[in-house]
Chains A and B, each alone.
Chain A
Amino acid sequence: DAGVTQSPTHLIKTRGQHVTLRCSPISGHKSVSWYQQVLGQGPQFIFQYYEKEERGRGNFPDRFSARQFPNYSSELNVNALLLGDSALYLCASSLEAGYAETQYFGPGTRLLVL
């Protein structure tokens, strides 16, 4: 079975631009979470979606938005990019959205903002 897939794998943007990152969860998984990982740190939670509804949002500005589609795939959008948005963006999927649910990570999208 295919794991979590993300596209694109790498992206270079300039300050002020916007970016859309895409994620397809493991087949049968209904929950998708997005994390940002800057170099040398652990991943930081951005959003979680379950059954197309936003279940939670981390401490990120309104420039960050996301949505989940009927097929459970998801998009993360970032507007007005800043240099500090340069990071590895990780998508994780889980069957449901409970405490015991294991989240499986995709390969990530590496974003560089110049």
Chain B
Amino acid sequence: QKEVEQNSGPLSVPEGAIASLNCTYSDRGSQSFFWYRQYSGKSPELIMSIYSNGDKEDGRFTAQLNKASQYVSLLIRDSQPSDSATYLCAGSSGSARQLTFGSGTQLTVLP
């Protein structure tokens, strides 16, 4: 079964710190990876996508992909209390390019 595993958390970091979220995947056929943020009671919203090995930066967020190690990560710099949410890692694969999600990591940024 194709799986995406995330560090279970919950994760707490102080305001201004770097939050590191990690994800591993089992399907080597996965081509694209996505990080979504989900606030309690809301739907997932896209933070970043990454398709190639290496780093991709967007503002305070950096996604890293290592296909050889089947590893994806998300770094959040200068964490803010508004970043407190569940972060979902997803890989795209299969005939329908469907997203396979991890179970999420709950992040709390303490003021």
Contacts and interface: CB of A to CB of B under 8 A. Distances in A.
Main secondary structure of the interface of B (DSSP, over half): strand
Contacts of A55: 95-97
22 contacts: A35-B99, A41-B103, A42-B88, A42-B101, A42-B102, A43-B88, A43-B99, A56-B96, A56-B98, A57-B96, A97-B97, A98-B97, A99-B32, A99-B97, A100-B32, A100-B51, A100-B92, A101-B92, A102-B49, A105-B43, A105-B44, A106-B43
Interface of A: 33, 35, 40-45, 48, 55-58, 88, 90, 92, 97-108
Given A42-B88, A43-B44, 16 more contacts: A33-B96, A35-B99, A41-B103, A43-B101, A44-B101, A45-B98, A55-B95, A55-B96, A56-B94, A97-B96, A99-B31, A99-B32, A99-B93, A102-B46, A103-B34, A105-B44
